[in-house]
Chains A and B, each alone.
Chain A
Amino acid sequence: MGESKLRSVYPTLLPTRRAFLSSALGVSAYVLLPDLARAGSGGGIRALAFDGDVLLAAEATLNVSEDNGGTWAERTTPGKVLAMATNPDRPGLVAAGLEKGGVALSADGSATWRIGNAGLPDGEVNALAIASRNPDLIYAAVRGDGLYKSEDAGETWTLAMDRPWLKEAERDPLTLASVDLETGMGGIWIYAGTEMGLTRVPDCFCRWQDVQPGNAMDALVSGDAPPPENPLPDGEPVQSLASSPSAPERLYAALPSGIWTSADGGVVWTQVALSAATAIAVHPRDETYIAAVIGGTLKLSRDGGKSWTATAAG
């Protein structure tokens, strides 16, 4: 998209107005909110992300906490945020999928934003991932359309793949995660949670496929006992997924039945929380530190989900 067109659509978001921006959306917007203002909320949180130690929670507005959920500051975004992604190799980088369409990108931890939507069709961007090994490579799911990718940090986008096909229909990804496990095709995996369960696609976008143990075919042929599997509950929506860069085979998933975790890239899952969960994020350097919305409340766990504490607000 040319700058003039951009200017007409997002007049306040041009780099030329950076000075204005940082005061309008930056420091001055960083107001400490009284904890009680949103006490008991958390149920409205659509997305969670860790930018280093900073926890971001997208509700009607975007809130950030630098003290593990103790206190929160509100940030202004270019629109309502449905999905967020970060990358530990580029601190401060936040990609946000917008309800009105398009992807908002921040290089300063959500203080200021630019819009990237050249090549993206209209429609909610309701799931988003940044490639684990390349912060310039971003994936965005457009509701009702397909999976798009940008190789230039969100400036321009192209269709990568149609939506996954599960249980006799095309399904919207509700969440995406770049999972730094080798596909054997010269790249890594992108996992997607859909309303009908989990699926994944290699980052060459050859095909959506179920998560299967690496040696499943060997067992099939040799007649050995099949490797153990315990998939997520059949047909249940996977609302949110997280894979920690520090231990990519460790996955977390938020489902109506609760929080589930896998230590082997999604073959065997165990349940670690029993109330309906809607959003989850894992700390980039500590795969046992997770934030999740469980039973409508934002909670943190420092032990991989064994125990949880509610935050002041979210």
Chain B
Amino acid sequence: MRPIAGMFLAGIATAVIGSFVLAQASPDETAIEGLTFLGEPVSEDDLIAGKQIYAESCASCHGENLEGQPDWRRRLDNGRMPAPPHDETGHTWHHSDRNLFIVTKGGVQAVVPGYESDMPAFEGILTDDEIAEVLAYIKSTWPERQREFQAEVSANDRGGL
């Protein structure tokens, strides 16, 4: 991915998220066809890094194969929702790149004020680059239909939450 500036994250997003810069693509890096994150091309290296980050930081809850926690549509006893799948059986692909970035960095309460959830905020744990990489990896696992749907949601994201 080329460097991504915070300009994608207008208004509130900029304030909450700050700006982030992805690893500079080396000249021989090839962009993965049909896959971008926040408008920027994604490379094979980004995906390799993202897969690694997923295994280390996300898989414990969202499942090794992105399958989510068992019975994830049912509330836990504490009233919170389990971790949903990140594959096409979940609802991650309904969210724009910007929304996914904000949720991963700030937790769900960053998009739904006051919301209580077991999803950690990864701010200070993962860098902005790493968050972009892991989300690019998640996106790379989706079939065509989900990718297209999510690309449209991202394109229509005018900055509201």
User: Within 8 Å of chain B (Cβ to Cβ): is A67?
Assistant: no
Provided the pairs A165-B79, A216-B113, A220-B12 are in contact, do residues A186 and B73 lie with their beta carbons within 8 angstroms? no
- Bound together, the chains give a CA A115 to CA B117 distance in angstroms of 38
Tell me whether A206 and B156 are in contact (CB under 8 A). no
| CB pair B73 A160 closer than 8 Å | yes
| Chain B residue with Cβ nearest A203 | B94
8 A Cβ contacts from A194-232 to B? 202, 204-207, 209-210, 212, 214-218, 220-222
Closest to B108 in A: A207
> Cβ of A234 < 8 Å from any Cβ of B?
no
**Shortest distance from the beta carbon of B19 to any chain A beta carbon, whole Å:** 15
Q: Does A185 contact B (CB under 8 A)?
A: yes
Contact of A204 among B73, B74, B75, B91 (CB under 8 A): B91
Q: Are A212 and B113 CB-contacts (below 8 A) given A162-B73, A165-B75, A207-B108? A: yes
C-alpha gap A302/B136 in the complex (Å): 53
B73:A187 contact, CB within 8 angstroms: no
The minimal Cβ–Cβ distance linking B52 to chain A, given in whole angstroms, is: 27
Task: Determine the chain B residues whose CB is within 8 A of the CB of A204 once the complex forms.
Answer: 91, 94
The answer to whether B11 and A218 have CB atoms under 8 Å apart is yes
Residue of A nearest to B116 (CB): A165
Question: Which single residue of chain A is at the shortest CB-CB distance from B75?
Answer: A162
Binary per-residue interface labels of chain A (147-160) against chain B in the complex, 1 for a CB within 8 Å, 0 otherwise: 00000000000011
A11 at the interface (CB under 8 A from B): no
Tell whether, in the assembled complex, residue B81 and residue A207 are in contact, meaning their CB atoms are under 8 Å apart.
Answer: yes
Q: How many of A's residues come within 8 Å of B, CB to CB?
A: 30
**Which residues in chain B, 110-142, are within 8 Å of chain A measured between CB atoms?**
111-115, 117
Does the CB pair A184–B96 fall under 8 Å?
yes
- Bin chain B's interface residue count: 20 to 34
Nearest-Cβ distance from residue A184 to partner chain B, whole angstroms: 6
Confirm or deny: B48 has a beta carbon within 8 angstroms of a beta carbon on chain A: no
**Beta-carbon contact of B94 and A186 below 8 Å:** yes
Complex alpha-carbon distance, A289 and B95, angstroms: 36
Query: Closest CB of chain A to B57's CB: distance in Å?
Result: 21
The answer, yes or no, to whether B7 is at the interface (CB within 8 Å) is no
Are B115 and A207 touching (Cβ within 8 A)?
yes
With A184-B153, A222-B12 in contact, do A215 and B112 touch (Cβ < 8 Å)?
A: no
B15 touches A221 (CB 8 A): yes
Point out the residues of chain A lying under 8 angstroms from B40, CB to CB: none
Residue of B nearest to A168 (CB): B79
Closest approach, in angstroms, between the C-beta of B18 and any C-beta of chain A?
Answer: 12
B112 A207 Cβ-Cβ under 8 A: yes
- Minimum distance in angstroms from B2 CB to a CB of chain A: 26
- Which residues of A are found within 8 Å of B108, using beta-carbon distances? 207
Question: Which residues of B in the span 64-105 have a Cβ within 8 Å of any Cβ on A?
Answer: 73-75, 79, 81, 84, 91, 94-96, 99
Q: Smallest CB-CB separation from B10: which chain A residue?
A: A218
**Cβ-based interface call for A245 (8 A):** no
Among candidates A186, A220, A221, residue contacting B153 with C-beta atoms closer than 8 Å: A186
B141-161 residues at the A interface, CB under 8 angstroms: 149-150, 152-153, 156-157, 160-161
User: Is the CB of A170 closer than 8 A to any CB of chain B?
Assistant: yes
A162–B12 touching, CB < 8 Å: no
Q: Check if B161 sits within 8 Å of A186, measured CB to CB.
A: no
Q: How far is the CB of B72 from chain A (nearest CB, A)?
A: 10
Besides A159-B73, A220-B113, 17 other A-B contacts (C-beta < 8 A):
A165-B79, A170-B79, A185-B96, A185-B99, A186-B150, A186-B156, A204-B94, A205-B73, A214-B160, A214-B161, A215-B160, A216-B113, A218-B11, A221-B11, A221-B15, A222-B12, A222-B15
> Mind listing 8 A-B residue pairs with CB under 8 Å?
A160-B73, A162-B81, A186-B149, A186-B156, A207-B108, A210-B112, A220-B12, A221-B12
Q: Report the 7 A-B pairs with minimum CB-CB distance, sorted nearest first.
A: A204-B94, A185-B94, A221-B15, A221-B12, A204-B91, A186-B153, A162-B75
